[in-house]
Chain A
Amino acid sequence: MITHLKNGKLYDPAHNKDGVVEDIYIFQGRIIPKPLDSEKISQTYDLTGKIVMAGAIDMHSHIGGGKVNIARMMLPEFQLKEQQETKNYTEPEAHICTPNCSHNATPSSTDAGFRYIEMGYTAAFEPAILPINARQAHLEMGDTPMIDKGGYAMLGNDDYFLRLLSNKADQKAINDYVAWTLHATQAIGIKVVNPGGISAFKFNQRKLDLDENNVHYQVTPRDILKSLSTAVQQLGIAKPLHVHCNNLGTPGNFQTTLDTMGASEGVPMHLTHIQFHSYGTEGDKKFSSAAAQIAESINKNKHITTDVGQILFGQTVTASGDNMVQFLNAKHANPKKSVIMDIECDAGCGVVPFKYKDKNYVNALQWAIGLELFLSVEDPWRIFLTTDHPNGAPFTSYPHLIRLLMDKSFRNDAFSKLNLDAQAMSNLTSLNREYSLYEIAIMTRAGAAKLIGLNDRGHLGVGAGADITVYTEQADHEAMFAKPDYVFKDGELVVKDGKVVKVVWGATHTAKPAFDIGVEKGLKSYFEQYHTIQMDNFKIANDELTEDGRGRIIVHNNTHQKEQS
């Protein structure tokens, strides 16, 4: 059964196609070459005048794992009954919404999948899986329909790693532990959050600079970054170390961020939600934009990639592993409540509801700083479109954000309504850049797939998984990106006119580099002595993700991938 997408205008940066009119053929979930005339075409979609892109990939969105579930639990006011669109769950083919449908910061797992696919996103990656909590992350993602998913396992604040590092373990021992963690947690990448800082907070340190020692382990964030980024590189996993820098949100933190870029000594690193790490101390309010310095440094440092973590105005909730910082942010909680946790000598978490206001100086400037970064980082292959869902804004605001990037007058109109002092401190209106459709396709498709190592996603070439989104071109790009005409997931039509027409379940993407199983000797005795569960129960078996018949595991490495089922 061959599906023919005819005459679409393709934006496929992986193949340098910038609005080229071409046909696409799909067979058994994949894009195939033009079939022989003798082969039967079962279905043809005339896409004349339509825009065709690969399915979008969100490389950083908190869709699974404990933190957002705590937020859901703590914040019943986010899901007021009157905001719900009651629909019949048992016939999802007929509807887009579930009974508890939400368009807010903490959608249910079902709604998260629906909201993503309705915008043409076909994959999302949970960026902060605590290894000890990975089973919950996969349970939640397993209940998230429509899209592919995966996650990054957090290391660098766990006592096992910090003991290795402070005992001057060799790089091979670190590499084995990192690889073992990827296997045990079924993750595709490694993240470090406030390197060493979450651990330091447990020893009552309240801040940690890049070259400051963790009081107990006498190692610095710089040591941690060097060790983990090297491990990731030497293991050959595609996704560079995902770094949430020290000093998030602190005025003047841009210097830490600039210095962090050098910490890996040229080894690739991804600095995430960089908007929250680009703050200066200039002006009367001692809070200013350092976007220009950060962007300039990113432009120079080719080993660095980044995503923005744009804030947008309104109610949301911040959910982070960085409990050192979230403990301080709890004083600004709105509504006034928060959860701060130390977790299992593994990591921590902090969940703080927050309302970004356009008349607030700091919030308005945060908004501008994010956009300044988007417009000043030159290479769209090295910067990604995120709101750090839900921390900066819910992911459902992506179409609005895309319009801000593509439409200068729309952006400047929005800017002119902000807090006046913030306007005076931003150069946003002097930035004339408008993103093109091609650049948006890089940021949200080709670049994201390349970064994570999803070789058969994010592009429209022969052999790619047929995750495809079709839009009608409109002057209002927010309207355009909010409601695709069609979305195909693995070749099946799943969204028509912005509404889900078929419920499907995506795969889980993982990386499982080879390692020396001897690493388990030290781990086993560590678990027996210090943990409260056994090592074998820490590890997540493939069956746990697949036995319900919905899940699939795809294992990636740099050169090939294979499917485990």
Chain B
Amino acid sequence: MTKPMISPASTATCPACGLLCDDINLSQLNNNTCAKSIAFFGQKSVNASPQIAGKPVTLAQAIAKAAEILKKSKQPLLSGLSTDVTGFRAVFDLAQKTHGSLKHMNAASAQRNLNVLQSTGWQTTTLTEVKNRADVIVCIGTDVVSHNPRFFERNVDCDGMFISAKNRQLIFVGNAPNNDHIKSNALKASWVLPCRADDFPSATGALRALVQNKPLNTPNIGGISLADLTTLADKLKQAKYAVMVWIAKDLDFKFADLTIQNITQTVAALNETTRAGGLALGGSDGDTSANYANTWLSGYALNDSEATHDAVVYINSFSPSKAAPKTNLPLIVLGNCNLQFADQIPDVFIPIATPGLDCSGTLFRVDSSVVLPLKKLHENELPLLADVAKQIEALL
């Protein structure tokens, strides 16, 4: 049913996490070290039929039914928003037309970072700077690889322009990480300062104080000895280019934004005398793309607030395992052709093309400065989200 389009010599770009690795050799997918990537490119693009209440219908019928629901709705919620820039632009227009509100599936964790950005701002860096400059990398509250499996392989466990892999120090504050992806012995022996999630606020607060040269007067903070925290602060201060990594999704507790702010203010204090950068990783399902595009289109960042609504449009191009949140309201799903419906049969389901697989696309990387094209890998008949959204809009 599907025929390949990409030449064996060229590489594909992977949207399965925020890193957007663009070195994916599809003819040697088994050599890929990333399970997320293998799963993404291993998806079968079936030409699934659109459905109304679980029954197959034509695309035109499904679009008409979706328009009928949205016509009755005074204010729908357009959620999920797992798509690329092109798809988001069309969804944004549909939201304007229907007076709808927009909320990404990663809104809760994205809001933690946004709170810090809108309160103090931050000083950050990007992947290529990490690869070529970072000599001390501190990961706080995350193993990184659960979200971004190839982060260390591609950016840390390699020689850069100004630093070699063996001269880097890798430090974790939190649980001991899974080091399977790291080849270099020097990095495998990374230093771990065990810390429970409950203790991140106090541990990061203490680290911030130490880096700001404020004396602390307690033998241990958040389960970490003052001596260890002082050593960590000294390593950061002595670094030529320290990088502090966090993943908002892993900092899932009340007021986690204040912990993130402790991290970013530690970076700011370091930059008074040496160089350092923060790096918020994670990211997937087009969250950075939706947020950035929404920001230039509307003037505002996407946030985690949820307006009162009377219908739900759930958009999910990338992740078949992420079903729509359960709702009693009319539900329209524009989604990946392999999307499963365990809890709830949507009123309308329109399978759409997945950017980077069934169609080309454009996606922001998690560090936000790099935008990459996604390739269409094979021919099939799945419609584009933008076309479906425009056709629905035309009927309103």
Instruction: Identify the A interface with B (CB < 8 A).
Output: 66, 69, 72-76, 78-79, 89-90, 99-100, 102, 106-111, 130, 132-133, 135-136, 139-140, 143, 159, 201-204, 216, 327, 330, 333, 336-346, 351, 530-534, 536-537, 541, 544, 548
Contact = CB atoms under 8 A, between A and B. Distances in A.
Contacts of B154: 532
Interface stretch (B36-44, B197-205, B298-306): B298-306
Given A89-B97, A204-B240, 17 more contacts: A72-B295, A72-B299, A72-B300, A73-B117, A76-B118, A90-B97, A107-B299, A108-B296, A135-B371, A202-B275, A330-B121, A340-B123, A341-B125, A530-B160, A532-B154, A533-B20, A534-B23
A345 B162 CA distance: 11
Contacts of B22: 533-534, 537
Given A337-B121, A533-B22, A537-B373, A344 B129 contact: yes
Contact of B11 (A72, A338, A343, A534): A534
Given A337-B119, A530-B160, A544-B373, A76 B241 contact: no
B128 A339 contact: no
3 tightest Cβ-Cβ pairs between the two chains A and B? A337-B121, A135-B371, A108-B299
5 contacts: A73-B114, A79-B299, A339-B123, A340-B124, A532-B127
B101 interface: no
B370 A530 contact: no
Interface stretch (B60-68, B164-172, B217-225, B361-369): B361-369
A143 B369 CA distance: 18
Interface in B71-89: 85-86, 89
Nearest to A548: B86
Interface in B1-25: 10-11, 13, 20, 22-23
Nearest to A204: B275
Contact of A343 (B126, B160, B291): B126
B117 A74 contact: yes
Given A90-B96, A109-B296, A339 B124 contact: yes
B296 A344 contact: no
Contacts of B161: 159, 345, 530
A65 B254 CA distance: 34
Give the interface residue-count category, chain B. Answer: 35 or more
Contacts of B292: 69, 136
A78 to B, nearest CB: 8
Find the residue from A89, A132, A204, A345 having the highest chain B CB count within 10 A.
A345
B132 A339 contact: no
B273 to A, nearest CB: 8
Nearest to A136: B371
B121 A338 contact: yes
A100 B99 CA distance: 12
B190 interface: no
B274 interface: yes
B91 to A, nearest CB: 14
B241 A202 contact: yes
A203 B298 CA distance: 37
Interface string B114-148: 10011111111111110111000000000000000
Interface in B345-374: 362, 364, 368-373
Contacts of A107: 299
B128 A135 contact: no
Interface of B: 10-11, 13, 20, 22-23, 85-86, 89, 96-97, 114, 117-129, 131-133, 154-155, 160-162, 240-241, 271, 274-275, 277, 291-293, 295-301, 362, 364, 368-373
A149 to B, nearest CB: 13
Given A339-B123, A534-B23, A111 B299 contact: yes
Contacts of B301: 72-73, 76
A130 B362 contact: no
Contact of B371 (A108, A133, A201): A133
B13, B300, B364: which has the most chain A beta carbons within 10 Å? Answer: B300
A133 B370 contact: yes
B50 to A, nearest CB: 25
B70 to A, nearest CB: 13
A337 B120 contact: yes
A74 B132 contact: no
Contacts of B124: 339-342
Contact of B369 (A90, A110, A130): A130
Nearest to A109: B296
Contact of B128 (A90, A338, A340, A532): A532
B297 A110 contact: yes
Contacts of A106: 299
Contacts of A135: 362, 371-373
Contacts of B299: 72, 78-79, 100, 102, 106-108, 111
Contact of B372 (A111, A345, A351, A537): A537
A211 to B, nearest CB: 24
Interface centre among A72, A79, A140, A531 (most CB of B within 10 A): A72
Contacts of B291: 73
A111 B295 CA distance: 12
B369 A66 contact: yes
A130 B356 CA distance: 25
Contact of B298 (A100, A337, A530): A100
A108 B128 CA distance: 29
A47 to B, nearest CB: 36
A353 to B, nearest CB: 9
A185 to B, nearest CB: 12
A228 to B, nearest CB: 21
B114 to A, nearest CB: 7
Given A345-B128, A532-B127, A534-B23, A100 B368 contact: no
Contacts of A336: 120
Given A72-B295, A73-B114, A109-B296, A343 B121 contact: no
Contacts of B10: 536
Nearest to A63: B296
A311 B86 CA distance: 37
A52 to B, nearest CB: 34
Given A74-B121, A337-B119, A140 B160 contact: no
A555 to B, nearest CB: 21
Contacts of B296: 69, 72, 108-109, 139-140, 143
Nearest to B267: A340
A78 B298 CA distance: 12
